[in-house]
């Protein structure tokens, strides 16, 4: 007896913990969810198909003539109250994006309203450097005839760029401007019709980062005019330079500009770590000792140092080419009979005329062409964490002498920016979408070396609060977080331990960018609708479905009490 009661006791306790279920068949039902902007005609036609569907709506106070709609505040409520709901047809503008994750139904169809008039898609870099061009790409939907003027400008009405949209339908539009100052800037995008009426006026924010100068090390066999002009230009831009020219056998000239002196006689790792780019001509690279070449290679690979190999006559020598291949693997050079090339790389008014060494780089799968001039004369490829570039342009300083400073700047900025070391931030923040709104979720992504970073968000009033991040399942150092900003204006986001690497996000009011947000909502609802496994024509819901029904814990509890009671009572009897 006691033995039997013990078994019952333990079993009931286990079952209480394990919570067993049993399968039960049920007949699921389908429903229609009415959202903002739904078409009554669609509802009527759906109900006329004969299938009995319950009607829900998230519109408070909705009254329909021929139908009865039950109000539900959100999807979470719907799932709780109607767990047997399997098929859902959504009419109108759909459910908000934040609620989409709550949609558990297997069969969802979305019959959405027409895309709104206005900006339905927007893409631009929310964070750019001071010398970059702010380029905004957007899709503008104009369902009516007539011309609309899109203007990019400031709050005070100063216009930077504009474009006229004609025709009907969705059109890709691009606007651009050059920011003049670094900082947190807000631009205004306005849309006017032909009569000058203002249709839309929206703010979009940009963070323009000030630029930080580079440290460049130049080693070459002999002084050249090309490097002299390059050096002067880099100096005017405030970059730090260290140069070593060989002027004779074992005789060098060392120049240090905007930085302290260093010993350049031996290129060791400590020295190379101080620089972002090493510019060296092929001849000098070939004549370096094996140890120095290894130092350079390891520094590029481990720390991301950039190497730019400048072409010279020594490239005819196979030994030199072999030595260059230690850095730029698979390098193949082709002799060419001309020494002048033209390039339209930067879209200047007239093609840029440059002079080249009599070689051309043969393309390879792992190399990127930097300057396209009817041939490959400047290219780069990865080497570990760093970049190695080859520059076969022998002369470009004539552009400066001809007064084409901008072309010269474009050329060398591109080459150096592509090859130079990338600074690694301790914490790197990223937001999921270009625009953020008050009281709407803002998804953030953090790449951090901290083990358990805690986020701090500070609004424009100086109030801050903490938020917590979840580490990515697959990628360590990647964290995800979500916050709901409660005030408009600039929001500063950083980790608790590091306030240097921060991110600025501009929170807009909930009445801003209505067209864009509606378009996005329609898009995401359509994606959701594509999960439907059967069409509306056939019967979308199977006749019988099995569901898991948990066995009530009370049974186990009663058994547990009885067994325990018996064990207690039995000695007394």
Q: Which residues bind another protein (CB under 8 A)?
A: 129-131, 154, 156-158, 178-181, 183-186, 211-214, 234-239, 247-258, 261, 276, 301, 329-330, 366, 382-385, 405-406, 409-410, 412-414, 416-417, 420-425, 428, 430, 447, 475-478
CB of 454 to another protein, least distance (A): 19
CB of 209 to another protein, least distance (A): 8
CB of 482 to another protein, least distance (A): 19
Q: Which is nearer to another protein, 34 or 206 (CB)?
A: 206
Q: 477: which 2 tokens?
A: 């150092």
Q: 217: which 2 tokens?
A: 């090390």
Question: Alpha carbon of 441 to those of 124, 481, 519: distances in Å?
Answer: 20, 10, 17
Q: Which is nearer to another protein, 253 or 547 (CB)?
A: 253
Q: 165: which 2 tokens?
A: 């949209």
CB of 511 to another protein, least distance (A): 18
- The C-alpha atoms of residue 204 and residue 507 are separated, in whole angstroms, by 10
Q: Which is nearer to another protein, 385 or 567 (CB)?
A: 385
CB of 301 to another protein, least distance (A): 6
Question: Alpha carbon of 57 to those of 30, 266, 314, 405, 414: distances in Å?
Answer: 14, 76, 78, 64, 56
CB of 232 to another protein, least distance (A): 10
> Which residues, in sequence order, are bridge partners of residue 70?
56
CB of 192 to another protein, least distance (A): 18
Q: Which is nearer to another protein, 200 or 221 (CB)?
A: 221
Q: Which is nearer to another protein, 239 or 521 (CB)?
A: 239
Q: Which is nearer to another protein, 34 or 399 (CB)?
A: 399
CB–CB of 312/222 below 8 Å? Answer: no
Q: Which is nearer to another protein, 54 or 329 (CB)?
A: 329
Question: Alpha carbon of 294 to those of 16, 120, 164, 242, 458: distances in Å?
Answer: 67, 53, 58, 20, 47
Q: Which is nearer to another protein, 178 or 266 (CB)?
A: 178
CB–CB of 17/556 below 8 Å? Answer: no
Q: Which is nearer to another protein, 405 or 539 (CB)?
A: 405
CB of 515 to another protein, least distance (A): 25
Q: Which is nearer to another protein, 240 or 375 (CB)?
A: 240
CB of 198 to another protein, least distance (A): 16
Q: 135: which 2 tokens?
A: 């380029």
CB of 129 to another protein, least distance (A): 6
- The C-alpha atoms of residue 226 and residue 219 are separated, in whole angstroms, by 13
Secondary structure (DSSP) of 523-556: HHHHHHHTT-SS-SSS--S-S-EEEEEEPPHHHH
CB of 428 to another protein, least distance (A): 4
Q: Which is nearer to another protein, 96 or 386 (CB)?
A: 386
CB–CB of 199/191 below 8 Å? Answer: yes
Secondary structure (DSSP) of 97-132: HHHHTT---SEEEEEE-PPPSEEEEEE--SEEETTS
CB of 362 to another protein, least distance (A): 16
CB–CB of 163/150 below 8 Å? Answer: yes
Please state whether beta strands 478-483 and 442-448 pair in parallel, antiparallel, or not at all (unpaired). Answer: antiparallel
CB–CB of 378/392 below 8 Å? Answer: yes
Task: Find the distance separating the first CA and the last CA of the chain, reported in whole Å.
Answer: 13
3-state secondary structure of 56: strand
CB–CB of 193/146 below 8 Å? Answer: yes
CB of 322 to another protein, least distance (A): 14
3-state SS string for 459-506: CCCCCEEEEECEECCCCCCEEEEEECCCCCEEEEEEECCCCCCCEEEE
Q: Which is nearer to another protein, 34 or 234 (CB)?
A: 234
CB–CB of 237/231 below 8 Å? Answer: no
Q: Which is nearer to another protein, 167 or 347 (CB)?
A: 347
Residues 6 or more apart in contact with residue 445 via CB below 8 angstroms = 429, 430, 431, 432, 478, 479, 480, 481
């Amino acid at each position: 007896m006691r033995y039997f009661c013990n078994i019952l006791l333990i079993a009931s306790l286990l079952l209480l913990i394990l919570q067993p279920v049993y399968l039960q068949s049920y007949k699921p039902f389908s429903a229609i969810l009415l959202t903002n902007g739904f078409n009554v005609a669609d509802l009527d036609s759906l109900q006329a198909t004969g299938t009995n569907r319950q009607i829900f709506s998230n519109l408070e106070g909705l009254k329909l003539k021929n139908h009865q709609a039950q109000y539900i505040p959100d999807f979470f409520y719907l799932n709780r109250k109607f767990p047997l709901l399997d098929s859902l047809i959504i009419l109108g503008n759909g459910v908000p994006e934040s609620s989409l994750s709550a949609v558990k139904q297997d069969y969802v169809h979305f019959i959405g309203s027409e895309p709104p008039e206005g900006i339905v898609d927007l893409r631009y870099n929310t964070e750019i450097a001071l010398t970059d061009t702010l380029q905004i790409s957007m899709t503008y939907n104009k369902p009516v005839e007539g011309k609309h003027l899109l203007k990019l400008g400031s709050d005070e009405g100063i216009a930077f760029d504009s474009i006229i949209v004609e025709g009907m339908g969705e059109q890709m539009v691009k606007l651009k401007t050059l920011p003049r100052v670094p900082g947190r800037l807000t631009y205004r995008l306005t849309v006017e019709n032909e009569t000058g009426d203002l249709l839309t006026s929206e703010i979009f924010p940009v963070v323009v980062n000030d630029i930080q100068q580079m440290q460049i090390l130049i080693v070459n066999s002999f002084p050249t005019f090309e490097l002299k002009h390059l050096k002067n230009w880099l100096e005017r831009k405030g970059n730090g330079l260290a140069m070593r020219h060989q002027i004779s056998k074992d005789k060098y000239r060392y120049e240090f500009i905007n930085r302290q002196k260093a010993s350049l006689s031996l290129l060791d790792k400590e020295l190379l770590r101080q620089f972002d780019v090493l510019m060296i001509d092929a001849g000098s690279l070939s004549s370096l000792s094996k140890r120095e070449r290894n130092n350079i290679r390891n520094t590029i690979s481990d720390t991301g140092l950039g190497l730019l190999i400048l072409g010279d006559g020594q490239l005819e020598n196979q030994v030199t080419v072999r030595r260059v291949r230690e850095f730029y693997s698979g390098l193949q050079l082709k002799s060419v009979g001309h020494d002048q090339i033209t390039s339209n790389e930067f879209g200047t008014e007239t093609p840029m005329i440059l002079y080249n060494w009599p070689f051309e780089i043969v393309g390879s799968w792992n190399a990127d062409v930097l300057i396209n001039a009817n041939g490959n004369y400047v290219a780069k490829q990865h080497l570990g964490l760093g970049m190695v570039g080859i520059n076969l342009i022998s002369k470009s300083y004539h552009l400066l002498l001809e007064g084409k400073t901008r072309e010269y700047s474009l050329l060398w900025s591109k080459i150096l920016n592509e090859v130079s070391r990338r600074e690694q931030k301790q914490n790197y923040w990223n937001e999921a979408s270009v625009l953020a709104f008050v009281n709407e979720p803002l998804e953030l992504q953090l790449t951090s070396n901290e083990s358990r970073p805690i986020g701090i968000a500070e609004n424009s009033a100086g109030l801050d609060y903490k938020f917590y991040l979840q580490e990515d399942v697959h990628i360590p150092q990647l964290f995800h977080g979500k916050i709901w900003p409660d005030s408009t204006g600039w929001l500063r986001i950083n980790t608790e331990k590091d306030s240097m690497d921060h991110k600025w996000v501009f929170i807009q009011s909930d009445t801003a960018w209505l067209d864009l947000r509606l378009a996005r909502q329609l898009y995401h609802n359509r994606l959701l609708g594509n999960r439907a496994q059967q069409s509306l024509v056939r019967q979308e819901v199977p006749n019988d479905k099995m569901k898991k029904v948990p066995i009530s814990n009370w049974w186990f509890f009663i058994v547990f009490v009885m067994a325990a009671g018996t064990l207690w009572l039995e000695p007394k009897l």
